[in-house]
Amino acid sequence: MRADRLVAALLLMQARGRVTAAELADELEVSVATARRDLEALSAAGVPVYPQPGRNGGWSLVGGARTDLSGLSAPEARELFLLLGPAAAGSDQARAALRKLLRALPQTFRADAEAAAEATMTDPTRWSGRVRHRPELVDLLQAAVIGRRKVRLDYLDSRREHTERLIDPWGLVDKDDVWYLVAGTDRGQRTFRVDRIVAAEPTAEPAERPADFTLTAAWHQVVGEVEQRRSRTWATVLVETRFVPVLRDQFGLHCHADGEVADGRTQVRVAAPTPLDIARQLAGWGAMIEVLEPRSVRAELARIGTELADRYAAEHG
């Protein structure tokens, strides 16, 4: 009999007041018989739980007894879940533990704690080598996400034009030390770079959020769209096997090794938005890399090589 199941059973009774063996079995993903045995074991061990028969019966803590496992204040619960939410994003077990902790909180704290857990996430995969510090606006926007309040943004778009927008803040993502705000707008879901937000003013107007929204799923959609734009052109190259990690670091997700060839080199596929983008990244490798295809990348490399030769040949002639 696992101690974590017994603790979970206690927490559920504390949070709900009463649970049935069937409800406990569903929560803990065990059989009803196992859940009933766990409840009986708690009672036999001296824990003040008791069964109440009948149609609306179940198991309860005697006199509303409480454990010490969730004696948190509302601010403490919110801060705890602000820390735990991003940490749990990459682990199924951590997310399961987070759900159990959430159910253990008093009902009045649960909504804020759940919002805090979903307010931010960290995506460790690199898009570039740019490093930025946490913007001051992140705390303000984070509070708006948790408090479910609309925010008026003064935003500098990709054309460097100022626009004013009233948005529903849904979540914040830290991607390679660049922060992004996922939000609802009159045109649907949009993603804003926090470092392009000139000013942000929370309003008293309640923000709307889809009932089925999760920040993780929304961000996966954003990443998929960005990666699709960043990998429109693929090239097949040959490089010495020992340099494959360097090439992978340069191209990140857009670098796939196909396997070694007879001369000790490895065939690798790399991607970028255009043939010129790939050529620019490969030009510094010189003859260390051989581009097999496409011809458009080979042509861009030849053009870059000719330009460099024309500019510098006279100095070393």
Burial (0-12, 13-18, 19+ Cβ within 10 Å), 190 = middle
pLDDT digits (tens, 9 = 90+) for 210-228: 988 888 888 888 888 887 7
CATH 3.20.20.70 assigned to 3-64: no
Bridge partners of residue 166, in order along the sequence = 152
What distance in Å separates the CA atoms of residue 272 and residue 218, rounded to the nearest whole number? 24
pLDDT of residue 203: 95
User: For the chain, what are the domain ranges?
Assistant: 3-64, 74-123, 137-228, 231-316
pLDDT at position 68: 43
Residue-averaged pLDDT of the chain: 80
Tally the residues of the chain: 317
Handedness of CA 173, 176, 177, 180 (dihedral sign): negative
At 279 the pLDDT is 95
Q: Which residues pair with 266 in a beta bridge?
A: 239, 260
- Is 41 a residue whose pLDDT tops 70? yes
The confidence score (pLDDT) of residue 67 equals 47
pLDDT band at 14 (very low <50, low <70, confident <90, very high): confident
Provide the whole-model pTM. 0.48
| Whole-number pLDDT of residue 26 | 84
- Residues ≥6 apart with Cβ < 8 Å to 126: 176, 252
Across the range 245-264, mean pLDDT stands at 89
CATH classification of 137-228 is 2.30.30.100, yes or no? yes
User: Which one has a higher pLDDT value, 227 or 300?
Assistant: 300
What secondary structure letter does DSSP report for 207? Answer: P
pLDDT at 107: 65
pLDDT tens readout for residues 44-96: 766 677 777 766 678 877 655 444 444 555 565 565 566 556 655 655 665 66
Contacts of 70 (CB under 8 A, 6+ apart): 11, 14, 15, 101, 104, 105, 106
Q: Which long-range contacts (CB under 8 A, 24 or more apart) does 283-292 make?
A: 285/239, 288/239, 288/240, 288/243, 289/237, 289/238, 289/239, 289/247, 290/237, 290/238, 290/239, 290/265, 291/235, 291/236, 291/237, 292/235, 292/236, 292/237, 292/238, 292/267
Of 3.30.70, 3.10.310, 1.10.3470, 3.30.2010, the CATH number of 231-316 is 3.30.70
In this structure, of 70-84, 113-127, 283-297, the range with the lowest mean pLDDT score is 70-84
Per-residue pLDDT, averaged over 253-280, amounts to: 91
DSSP 151-199: EEEEEE-TTS-EEEEEEEEEEEEEETTEEEEEEEETTEEEEEEGGGEEE
Report for 6-10, 24-28, 48-52: range of highest mean pLDDT: 24-28
- Give 282's pLDDT tier (boundaries 50, 70, 90): very high
**pLDDT tens-digit series, residues 255-264:** 999 988 888 8
User: Which pLDDT band holds residue 1 (cuts at 50, 70, 90)?
Assistant: very low
Which pLDDT belongs to residue 120? 64
pLDDT of 156 above 50: yes
Q: What is the pLDDT of residue 46?
A: 64
AA letter at 106: P
Highest mean pLDDT among 14-18, 76-80, 194-198, 228-232: 194-198
